Amino acid sequence: MLHVKNISFQYNNHKEVLKNLSFQLAPGEHLCVMGESGSGKSTLLKAIYGLLDVKSGELYWKDQQILGPAFHLVPGMEFFKYVAQDFDLMPYTSVEENIAKFLSRFHPEESKHRTNELLEVIEMKAFAKQRVKDLSGGQQQRVAIARALAKEPEMILLDEPFSQIDNFKKNSLRRKLFSYLKEKNIACIVATHDGNDALSFADKMIVIKDHQILAQGAPKELYQHPKEHYVAALFDDVNDIMIDGENRLLYPHHIKAVDTSEYHAVVKNSYYKGFSWLIEAELKGQSIFFQHSQRIGSGNVVYLNFSTIPN
Ligand SMILES: Nc1ncnc2c1ncn2[C@@H]1O[C@H](COP(=O)(O)OP(=O)(O)OP(=O)(O)O)[C@@H](O)[C@H]1O
Rounded Cα gap, residues 6 and 20, in angstroms: 4
Q: Is 176 exposed, middle or buried (0-12, 13-18, 19+ CB in 10 A)?
A: middle
Q: Whose CA is nearest to atom 5 of ligand 1?
A: 11
What predicted TM-score, i.e. pTM, was given to this entire model? 0.90
User: Which element (helix H / strand E) includes 241?
Assistant: strand 239-243
Confidence of residue 309 (pLDDT cuts 50, 70, 90): low
- Judged against a pLDDT cut of 50, whether residue 311 lies above it is answered with no
Superfamily grouping for domain 2-229: P-loop containing nucleotide triphosphate hydrolases (3.40.50.300)
Over residues 157-196, the pLDDT tens digits come to: 999 988 888 878 888 899 999 999 999 999 999 999 888 8
Which class does domain 237-306 fall in? mainly beta
Distance CA(58)–CA(61), nearest Å, equals: 10
For ligand 1, atom 24, which residue shows the shortest CA distance? Answer: 37
Task: List the residue whose alpha carbon is closest to atom 13 of ligand 1.
Answer: 38
ipTM value? 0.97
**Taking a C-beta distance cutoff of 8 angstroms, is the pair 40, 18 a contact?**
yes
Residue 288: half-sphere exposure toward Cβ, Cα within 13 Å: 31
CA distance 273 to 275: 6
Cβ of residue 17 lying under 6 Å from some atom of ligand 1? yes
Over residues 97-142, the pLDDT tens digits come to 999 987 877 777 888 999 999 999 999 999 999 999 999 988 999 9
Q: Is 35 in the pocket of ligand 1 (CB under 6 A)?
A: yes
Å from CA of 247 to ligand 1 middle: 33
pLDDT of residue 247: 86
Residue whose CA is closest, atom 10 of ligand 1? 11
With a 6 A CB cut-off, is 11 part of the ligand 1 pocket?
yes
Distance from residue 39's CA to the centre of ligand 1 (Å)? 7
Residue 66 beta carbon below 6 angstroms from any ligand 1 atom: no
Q: Which residue from 18, 21, 36, 39 has its CB within 8 A of the most atoms of ligand 1, so it is best to mutate?
A: 39
Q: Answer yes or no: is the C-beta of 92 below 6 A from any ligand 1 atom.
A: no
Domain ranges in the chain are 2-229, 237-306
At residue 292, φ and ψ (nearest 5 deg) are: -150, 155
Question: Does pLDDT of 250 surpass 90?
Answer: yes
What is the crossing angle of helices 167-183 and 137-149, to 10°?
0
Distance 216 CA to ligand 1 centre (A): 21
Residue nearest to atom 3 of ligand 1 (CA): 11
* Best CA proximity match to 137, nearest among 101, 172, 168, 163: 163
Residue nearest to atom 9 of ligand 1 (CA): 43
User: From the CA of 49, how far away is ligand 1's center (Å)?
Assistant: 16
DSSP 70: T
- H/E run at residue 212: strand 212-217
Interatomic CA distance for residues 179 and 183, integer angstroms: 6
